[in-house]
Amino acid sequence: CVYHLIPFRRYTTTINVSRSKNRLTKLQLVVCLDRRTVSCLEIFVILVNLEVTGVYSNNFDGALNYKQGFPVFNTLIHANHITNKDKIASSQLTDEDVKAIRELSKDPHIAERIFASIAPSIYGHEYVKQAVALALFRGEAKNPGEKHRLRGDINVLLCGDPGTAKSQFLRFAAHTAPRAVLTTGQGASAVGLTAYVQRHPVTREWTLEAGAMVLADKGVCLIDEFDKMSDQDRTSIHEAMEQQSISISKAGIVTSLHARCTVIAAANPIGGRYNSSRTFAENVDLTEPILSRFDVLCVIRDTVDPVE
């Protein structure tokens, strides 16, 4: 009897259960046997949109069966081809699309047209729409002298009275951006926004799980009710908002994850109403370090007409 040892890699990916925008996701085990497939996946890891072609199969796991007390099969995919969907999406522009884009670039009023297309159902708030548009288009990252990287993403903070469509701006950006992750300050924690380490339920190995800002890499991370977060949770995203990376050193795992995303957050002022006699920093319950990481601060007022 001759045995052949085949090197393989095992990866855990997140797949979409439904095709809707607010989609449900689940974890799926992917096994790569071919050396070329393994090296290809090493380039794409971590956290990009992948298209995996393979054989959908099941695996009898003795440890899981012992834990559950009855036969349980794990599902897995034997991958034989992996494609980066991010590169495919950028290369799917037709000649008509390129021609239309070039024609629009010659329009002297293209900036006004872009600003007007931001949340057209919301009346007014022209400056807020400009800030959201600039955040969605982003800037260009620079690395002068190849010594330090300057982020090109534009972080925006919306602060104002209740009922001034702050959350609607965030949801419009979430539906418009190709990659966006929407969360709230009440339901977000430090590990939920950055990354965390946990034990695998079957293998008992320490695994690294990505948070909202890592999942939004090269996209937009939208945080509603930003003022409801605790100071400790907000402190954890300082590195992600400025250096656009998240450093992890837990349970023997020492690594740095990319968090190259634009942050658009919405917060309510202290007391519920914005006091124009105070400065912006005095109206929000946010520390100076976190405020300094926002490039654009927008105040949204609910001005009451005394006649009406």
CA distance to 44, 103, 125, 176, 265, per residue, from 116 (Å): 37, 18, 10, 14, 21
In contact, 242 and 294? CB cutoff 8 Å: no
State which residues of the chain have pLDDT below 50.
17-24, 40-47, 88
pLDDT of residue 132: 92
* d(C-alpha 36, C-alpha 81), whole Å: 9
Cis peptide bond upstream of 46, omega within 30:
yes
pLDDT of residue 8: 63
* d(C-alpha 166, C-alpha 224), whole Å: 8
pLDDT of residue 255: 79
The total of other beta-carbon atoms located within 10 Å of residue 33's CB is 14
CA 208 remoteness from chain centre: 17
Give SS3 for 164.
coil
CA distance to 38, 87, 99, 107, 149, per residue, from 45 (Å): 10, 14, 34, 40, 21
Strands (DSSP E) along the chain, which ranges? 9-16, 25-32, 50-60, 73-84, 156-160, 180-184, 195-199, 206-210, 220-224, 245-250, 253-258, 262-267, 296-300
Structure tokens at 90: 């950028």
For the domain spanning 9-90, the CATH number is: 2.40.50
* d(C-alpha 31, C-alpha 80), whole Å: 9
* d(C-alpha 164, C-alpha 275), whole Å: 15
Provide the phi-psi class of 144: left if phi over 0, else alpha when psi is between -120 and 50, else beta.
Answer: beta
Q: Which fold has domain 95-300?
A: Rossmann fold (3.40.50)
Q: Would you kindly state where each structural domain of the chain is located, as residue ranges?
A: 9-90, 95-300
pLDDT of residue 17: 47
pLDDT of residue 86: 61
Q: Do domains 9-90 and 95-300 have the same CATH topology?
A: no
pLDDT of residue 67: 64
Q: Measured between alpha carbons, how far apart are the two ends of the chain, in Å?
A: 91
Tokens 């939004």 locate to: 216
Q: What is the pLDDT of residues 49-83, one digit of tens each?
A: 677 778 887 777 666 666 666 666 777 777 777 77
User: Which of 299, 218, 307 is closest to 262 using CA atoms?
Assistant: 218
User: Which of 219, 222, 214, 220 is closest to 197 using CA atoms?
Assistant: 214
In contact, 246 and 261? CB cutoff 8 Å: no
DSSP state of 201: T
